[in-house]
Amino acid sequence: MQTYETERATRAAKSSATSLGLTAHDADVLHNSNTLTLRLQPCDVLARVAPAAHQRAQLEVDVAQRLAKAGSPVAALESPQIFVRGDYVVTLWTYYEPASTQPIPDAEYVSALERLHAGMRGIDLPAPHFTDRVSAAQTLVADHARTPELAAPDRVFLSSTLNHMRRAVAESGRAEQLLHGEPHPGNLISTRTGPLFIDFETCCRGPIEFDLAHAPDDVGDRYPGADHQLLRDCRALMLAMITAWRWDRDDQFPDGRRLGIKWLSQLRTATANLDG
């Protein structure tokens, strides 16, 4: 979020916490992109603030609640209430002091992801299909006004790759279930009670390999029962999607344009290897 948006979003978070009787005089920014993540003090609660027009807070809260009841490794809600403050939607979560600054070991990562997927298999909630997210990326690439800096050859390549990899994954015949959507290391925190997943606004349905594509390669490769050909396809699809988002003129991901250029190069290498 831009500075003026961050200020308004922070006020919305403080107001939401206050309405629950919590004391929130200060707010430290933990992460700022399209969604703002804050640590409110002195109540020590984590607030997630998203633009009302682009949020899926109800699905995120519903999934988190059901996973917690199933004993899955997920961060706890401070309150199940969803707060609407002007143009923003706020959800409040338990804040966990990091137990370690080191990367979570692969074996623990795999175990946490297995347990998460097991819990998600028991959840029957309406959720987007992974192809809906691919469609959004395809629409973005096709819209010159929203991606004005994307060169014509890159646009053709990205569009073709999204279409080809979407079809390969969708027609794989692999069983599908509810997924986290983006279980990358930034969405798995180390706590005193073990690794916990956060940020369920990206939940979707699809094969587990779509989730594994977002995890470190060693984690996906060690996940029991994974289809490794499908995993390679999903990794290429995931890379194409996140590359497309970096070219959005409104993208607020830190250093996004540099990453867009870098990932285009990586995507060409990845697809060449698939073809080979």
Percent above pLDDT 70 for the chain? 99
Cβ distance 104 to 185 under 8 Å?
Answer: yes
For the domain made up of 3-94, the CATH class stated in words is alpha beta
Cβ distance 205 to 127 under 8 Å?
Answer: yes
Query: CB within 8 A of 97, min separation 6: which ones?
Result: 191, 192
pLDDT value at residue 275: 64
pLDDT value at residue 167: 97
pLDDT value at residue 148: 97
pLDDT value at residue 273: 82
CB atoms within 10 A of CB 9: 28
> What is the tens place of the pLDDT at every residue in 151-167?
999 999 999 999 999 99
53 band by pLDDT with thresholds 50, 70 and 90: confident
- CA-angle at 61, arms to 56 and 67, nearest 5°: 125
> What is the tens place of the pLDDT at every residue in 9-49?
999 999 999 999 999 999 999 988 878 999 999 999 999 99
CB atoms within 10 A of CB 105: 14
Percent above pLDDT 90 for the chain? 86
Look up residue 142 and give its amino acid: A
> Which bin fits 270, alpha (ψ -120 to 50), beta or left (φ > 0)?
alpha
CB atoms within 10 A of CB 220: 24
Q: Calculate the average pLDDT of the chain.
A: 94
Rounded CA separation 174/234 (Å): 12
What single-letter DSSP state applies at residue 87?
T
> What is the tens place of the pLDDT at every residue in 188-207?
999 999 999 999 999 999 99
The 3-state DSSP class for residue 36 equals: strand
Rounded CA separation 197/72 (Å): 9
Question: Is a pLDDT exceeding 80 seen at residue 106?
Answer: yes
Q: Where are the strands (E) in 144-262, listed by range? A: 177-179, 188-191, 194-197, 204-206
Question: Is a pLDDT exceeding 90 seen at residue 60?
Answer: yes
Centroid of chain to Cα 206: 15
Domain residue ranges in the chain: 3-94, 106-273
Please report the sign of the dihedral spanned by the C-alpha atoms of residue 130, residue 132, residue 133, residue 135: positive
Strand partners, 89: 50, 84
pLDDT value at residue 49: 95
Rounded CA separation 195/109 (Å): 7
> What is the tens place of the pLDDT at every residue in 239-274?
999 999 999 998 888 888 999 999 999 999 999 888
How much is the average pLDDT of 134-145? 97
Question: Is a pLDDT exceeding 80 seen at residue 276?
Answer: no
106-273 in CATH: which number? 3.90.1200.10
pLDDT value at residue 254: 81
How much is the average pLDDT of 58-75? 95
pLDDT value at residue 209: 98
